[in-house]
Amino acid sequence: MEPSKSGDSVRSAECGERRERNERDARGESGASTAEAMEAAVAMLARRAMSVQRLVQRLRPRFGSQQAAATASRLRDRGLLNDAHYAGAYARDRFERRGYARQRIAEELLARGVDRAIIDLALEEVVDEASERVRAEQVLARFFASAGRDPSKLRDRAAACRHLAGRGYSEELIGDLIGVSL
């Protein structure tokens, strides 16, 4: 079946619009006002906290790179956008509520565009080696208590290893807690 000419012209028009938008963005002429960009950014932050980089990524398609970066900068200057606060709250939530280890939290924050130095500071405040071990023990106890799992069964211990590894705990700690050498 041959594609319709109207479908081809629609795709061609969309490509042309996208090209024009990219050219305007490169010149810093996104067409949207500073107030609109600020309003959109505040609305996004009201729904969910995010890193500076993530906010810029979300604003860029609608407002262009320069406008997105300028808006993020204004919000940062006003104290409404702060990667250190975001990283601390994120790390605390993932550690306390989800039982994630330092490694998993760091990986997730890096993926969200937070600088490694900020991540390290946030993790130092939230979790240390001793508290990570205690949290791993709690996660493990909850895992075995659910669905009638039996720690004496090899299959259930293997599932517990995968469960802890998925949360970012080290092989050494997992082996120590479960009593197997990995």
Q: pLDDT tens for residues 162-177?
A: 999 999 999 999 999 9
Question: Higher-confidence residue: 13 or 141?
Answer: 141
Q: 123-158: per-residue pLDDT in tens?
A: 999 999 999 999 999 999 999 998 788 988 999 999
pLDDT at residue 2 in the model:
47
Distance (Å, whole) CA 83 – CA 76: 9
Q: What is the pLDDT of residue 179?
A: 81
What is the band of 9 on the pLDDT scale with cuts at 50, 70, 90? low
What integer pLDDT is reported at residue 1 of this predicted model?
46
Task: Classify residue 28 by its DSSP letter.
Answer: T
123 and 166 fall within a common domain: no
Whether residue 51 is found in the same domain as residue 115: no
Looking at residue 4, the DSSP 8-state letter turns out to be: P
Q: Point out the domain boundary residue: 23, 54, 81.
A: 81
Please check whether residues 119 and 144 belong to one and the same domain: no
SS (H, E, C) the chain: CCCCHHHHHHHHHHHHHHHHHHHHHHHCCCCCCHHHHHHHHHHHHHHCCCCHHHHHHHHHHHHCHHHHHHHHHHHHHCCCCCHHHHHHHHHHHHHHCCCCCHHHHHHHHHHCCCCHHHHHHHHHHHCCHHHHHHHHHHHHHHHHHHHHCCCCCHHHHHHHHHHHHHCCCCHHHHHHHHCCCC
Domain identity same for 135 and 89:
no
Question: Which of 25, 47, 81 is the last residue in one of the domains?
Answer: 81
Count CA atoms within 13 Å of residue 22 on its CB side: 6
Q: Which domain holds residue 88?
A: 82-127
The count of domains in the chain is: 3
Tens of pLDDT, residue by residue over 17-75, are 556 555 555 544 545 688 999 999 999 999 999 999 999 999 999 999 999 999 999 99
Write down the residue that tokens 């320069």 correspond to. 66
Average pLDDT over residues 3-29: 54
Q: Are residues 54 and 97 in the same domain?
A: no
Residues 75-130 have pLDDT tens digits of 999 999 999 999 999 999 999 999 999 999 999 999 999 999 999 999 999 999 99
- Residues 9, 77 within the same domain: yes
Is residue 138 domain-shared with residue 118, that is, in the same domain?
no
pLDDT at 148: 83
Task: Say whether both 134 and 178 belong to one domain.
Answer: yes
In this structure, are 177 and 110 located in the same domain?
A: no
Same domain, 36 and 63: yes
Considering the domain architecture, whether residues 48 and 75 belong to the same structural domain is answered as: yes
Regarding whether 122 and 109 lie in a shared domain, the answer is yes
